[in-house]
Chain A
């Protein structure tokens, strides 16, 4: 049976991505055509959870006059919050103590009170799980995949990837020029915790000497051997692109140090090295490779980290098109009764995948993918 959606709300999950306005524009324009009302929830779900904090009540009308003035390359229409999780909202209780409260019930009630029939959420992987949980509690929603790492499965392209890729390529070009001039090997760390698409595709585009991705454990001795063959006095520079979630062979990683009694006393369940498991610490992968390579190659090795630089700027033409397309498609999903799905681009079609099926699905680089073959054909070391 077809849903009777009349009012939809749009929100953005945690983290900044350039060009989200284009998604909002796509959804708003498509909804207007159906005669639906569209509002934006400010700062994730905070506009609905804490309306008193906002002079305009936390919701923004996204009527034609507002949409007309939006810049499709920007991301300033609604704002984001550090977390989109209404199940663990950090608050100060009546006793002046900090605690994480489950405010999902409040959120759903406020959605009902505002007569919002469905929510379009522009989310990354973790946001999907949150929306799935809200869906289990009765929320109608459609998600739009947003990932600068392009690691969301089922869709060939997540919104934001093309912009991140373009910027990364630009920065790698500069790094290469600097390496060339300084006669050094630059190890540049780019985003990619579980999937190495950004490292691999940007590495191919700039003809890097080597690309290290999370999908293949890196043996730095082999990498050093490769660079020693390729980097000579006639070509005294190099460029290695590494994804921040890169994994390393056992030989590369030093064995964990015993835990001292002081350490146990200060932090009773501490184990191993201080950062041995922390992959969220940006710069660790490039630092580890650079430090180890230093002993293996005759040229100076220098680590560089792009990290959050990639998340800013203006959206590319490709992302603007994808954004408009995904936004409009999300409204089509609601109009066709495909609630509780995620919009996916499976060339040449736009399809809608049930949220439950999309959970925990990470789009990684297959070892024998075309991109890997291309890299190897071009003489780029991948470790495969």
Chain B
């Protein structure tokens, strides 16, 4: 990996979301970066997976070929957009031929039906947006969280944002799945107060089946992180999906894994949701986990009870 010595590196940002309450303590600004090293079938942020900017099409906003039709001709790529005779004349996207669309082109769409997921920003541009809400962070104990995609795929950029945040007295957190070379994680953790990290599946074969790679390296990374950065707090998380990992076996295996480390302060379960499925359509992709359902409240409560017991606290409503 090429070393980036710049104090203000540029990175690929998907979105900056204010007033988030689930990405660490207090009210936070979450910076979603683009690019991920896993392909989890339940991913609710498909627009964050690929590192390059991607076309986004919201058919609801399209006025139709007769009223507009701008994207059906040059300078838009030939064959990228088309219509079919039918219920309406809204434009359709040929996703195989629309790959060359750029922000310059999509900005020509008068209704914003066409836009791009992802843009390049410098660390200073990001922190300028983040620090607008500094008063909220102070009042609520919040801060900034860098999420993804996988924020550790851009270690210099992520580290620079977090360093700038620390310089401004802002609490820092990252969300990561940990599937990166250790050097990437090590570089970023120097500027982190809290690391929220996934523990999707403890079984390596099942991890590979559902995410694309086994969990050997990421578990090694987590152990190294706990040991090398004792001042950093860690919260491990499982996106809980019935049929994949919503079982006692997985929960107990994670608890066993984190047990020796006092700086792992909590284990959270994130019940599976389908909030992201609509975006698959915006990207011309198919959501592969369409037949899976969120966990039942009783199951969730039972599994959370096991965690509470392990952490020596009374079972609480979450």
Contacts and interface: CB of A to CB of B under 8 A. Distances in A.
Interface in B55-101: 58-60, 79, 82, 84-88, 92, 94, 96-97
Given A96-B179, A97-B179, A270-B279, A217 B96 contact: no
Contact of B21 (A130, A261, A267): A261
A98 interface: yes
Contacts of A263: 273, 275
A247 B20 contact: no
A359 B94 contact: yes
A275 B161 CA distance: 35
Ranked nearest first, the 9 interchain pairs of A and B with the lowest CB-CB distance are A97-B37, A360-B82, A277-B281, A129-B96, A267-B275, A215-B86, A362-B84, A98-B212, A265-B20
Contacts of B117: 269
A278 B290 contact: yes
Contacts of B14: 268-269
A245 to B, nearest CB: 9
A336 interface: no
How many chain A residues sit at the interface, stated as a range, is: 35 or more
Interface in B17-67: 17, 19-23, 30, 32, 36-39, 44-45, 47, 50, 58-60
Given A264-B20, A268-B30, A278-B287, A366 B85 contact: yes
A274 interface: yes
A278 B281 contact: yes
B286 interface: yes
B97 to A, nearest CB: 6
A280 interface: yes
A269 B279 contact: yes
Interface of B, helix, strand, loop or mixed by DSSP: loop
A279 B281 contact: yes
Interface in A269-288: 269-282
A364 B287 contact: no
A1 interface: no
A141 interface: no
Interface of A: 85, 87, 90, 92, 95-100, 126, 129-130, 132-133, 194, 214-217, 247, 261-282, 356, 359-360, 362, 364, 366
A196 to B, nearest CB: 9
B277 to A, nearest CB: 5
A195 B92 CA distance: 14
Contact of B44 (A133, A214, A216, A266): A266
Nearest to A260: B275
A307 to B, nearest CB: 11
Contact of B22 (A98, A265, A277, A279): A265
A268 B19 CA distance: 11
A262 B270 CA distance: 12
Interface string B173-190: 000000111000000000
B144 to A, nearest CB: 14
Given A269-B45, A271-B58, A280-B286, 12 more contacts: A87-B96, A92-B213, A97-B213, A98-B38, A98-B39, A130-B96, A215-B87, A261-B20, A265-B17, A265-B30, A270-B278, A278-B277
Contacts of B21: 261-262, 265
Contacts of B153: 97
